[in-house]
């Protein structure tokens, strides 16, 4: 019976980001049967919700039997109350107190689960990826925003008011730049992709480059590959700040695995090496010896697959109640 279900029933999920919305359709074993993505072209607020609708509608249209979709999972940046299905505060996409679950359930008439993207990613990696079998895990999303999904003793840790995992707002340099949260020296203000690009741009201008030159993560990756000393320095500094934050986490929760994911990891081995070096002498030797730092096995799909798992759980829950 379970095999029948696996083959014939599906869950749709989306990962919302500032640049695009990835949608997948997975069967009950977690195998992806379809995927699509919708560029957001800078859309924010309620406009972005229209793109979520579009991504889900497109994903459903890829199935020969759309009625076999049992539930929806959504992974989004920001502070999310999963129980209420409300995005409390996602300032990068201008969602404040958005009742996303109710909005999506009304449109698609399917049980929907809404989760923070790093939480969804750690669920995805624990179920299908690099963290299978691990009990104490942290997934770190390094992108425009920096956040973490934390699994302790095999369960997702959300905190008393669902706000746990805000790794990006750990202060790693009290004299550092101001963060959009208002504080100074937050990890996100130092290693978020916007912060990295801004620093790379400053260096380029200081070296006599044109002030208006577009600089993004890909520019830095290319410079790194070409052995550019400025890019290497940028990467090493980022590694130190990430290392300072992770050293605190390693001492505090003693994880066995830290999965480093998100767009910034495209910087590759130079970043990972810098993080590992930065941890030496910052984290206590014994907990540090017990932790492995790895890349996600699900690539860019960790959060979407995790959201699918959570969407499926909600579909079962709704089914059981009815
Ligand atoms: Zn902050």
Q: What CA dihedral angle connects 263, 243, 155 and 11, to 10 degrees?
A: 0
Which protein residues have their CB within 5 A of the ion that is ligand 1?
Answer: 169, 179, 181, 183, 186
What does the pLDDT look like over 212-252, one tens digit per residue? 778 899 999 999 999 999 999 999 999 999 999 999 999 99
239 and 121 in contact (C-beta within 8 Å)?
A: no
| Non-local CB neighbours of 100 within 8 Å, separated by 6+ positions | 49, 52, 74, 76, 85, 86, 87, 112, 114
Q: How many CB atoms lie within 10 A of CB 58?
A: 17
Cα 173 to middle of ligand 1, angstroms = 11
Confidence of residue 6 (pLDDT cuts 50, 70, 90): low
Q: With CA atoms as reference, report the closest residue to 139 among 252, 288, 261, 291.
A: 261
Q: What pLDDT digit, counting tens, does each position of 109-130 carry?
A: 999 999 999 999 999 999 999 9
**d(CA 172, ligand 1 centre) in Å:** 10
Of the candidates 216, 228, 229, which has an alpha carbon nearest to the alpha carbon of residue 263?
216
Ligand 1 centre distance from Cα of residue 168 (Å): 6
Give CA separation, 242 vs 169, 272, 278, in Å. Answer: 12, 10, 8
Split at pLDDT 50, 70, 90, the class of 1 is: very low
Token pair belonging to 312: 């499926």
Closest CA to 36 of 49, 26, 22, 47: 22
pLDDT band at 205 (very low <50, low <70, confident <90, very high): confident
Residue 185 exposed, middle or buried by CB count within 10 Å (0-12, 13-18, 19+): middle
CA of 48 relative to ligand 1 center, distance in Å: 24
Average pLDDT over residues 256-266: 96
Give distance in angstroms: CA of 215 to centre of ligand 1: 23
Ligand 1 centroid distance, CA of 98 (Å) = 21
Quick one: average pLDDT of 16-24?
91
| Stated pTM of the model | 0.92
**How far does residue 187's CA lie from ligand 1's centre (Å)?**
7
pLDDT at 78 over 50: yes
3-state secondary structure of 177: coil
Among residues 272, 276, 187, 270, the alpha carbon closest in space to that of 231 is found at 270
Residue 136 has pLDDT above 90, yes or no: yes
């Amino acid at each position: 019976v379970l095999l029948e279900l696996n083959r014939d029933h599906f869950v749709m999920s989306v990962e919302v980001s500032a640049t695009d919305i990835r949608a997948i359709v997975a069967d009950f074993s977690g195998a992806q049967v379809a995927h699509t993505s919708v560029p957001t072209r800078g859309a924010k607020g309620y406009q972005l919700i229209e793109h979520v609708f579009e991504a889900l509608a497109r994903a459903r249209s890829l199935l020969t039997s759309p009625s076999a979709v049992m539930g929806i999972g959504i992974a989004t940046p920001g502070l999310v109350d999963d129980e209420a299905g409300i995005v409390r505060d996602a300032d990068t996409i201008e969602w404040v107190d958005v009742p996303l679950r109710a909005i999506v359930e009304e449109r698609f008439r399917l049980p929907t689960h809404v989760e923070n993207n790093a939480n969804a990613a750690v669920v995805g990696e624990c179920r299908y990826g690099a963290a299978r079998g691990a009990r104490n895990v942290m997934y770190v999303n390094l992108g425009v925003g920096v956040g973490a999904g934390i699994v302790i003793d095999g369960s997702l840790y959300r905190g008393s008011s669902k706000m746990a995992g805000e790794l990006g707002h750990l202060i790693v340099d009290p004299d550092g730049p101001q963060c959009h949260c208002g504080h100074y020296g937050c990890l996100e203000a130092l290693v978020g992709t916007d912060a990295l690009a801004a620093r790379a741009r400053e260096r380029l201008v200081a070296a006599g480059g044109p002030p208006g030159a577009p600089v993004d993560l890909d520019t830095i990756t290319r410079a790194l590959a070409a052995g550019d000393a400025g890019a290497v320095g940028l990467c090493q500094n980022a590694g130190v700040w990430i290392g300072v934050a992770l050293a605190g986490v390693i001492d505090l929760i003693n994880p066995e695995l830290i999965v480093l994911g998100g767009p910034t990891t495209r910087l590759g081995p130079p970043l990972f090496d810098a993080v590992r070096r930065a941890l030496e002498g910052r984290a206590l030797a014994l907990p540090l010896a017990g932790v492995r730092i790895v890349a996600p096995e699900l690539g860019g799909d960790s959060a979407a697959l995790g959201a699918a798992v959570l969407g499926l759980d909600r579909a079962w829950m709704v089914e059981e109640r009815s």
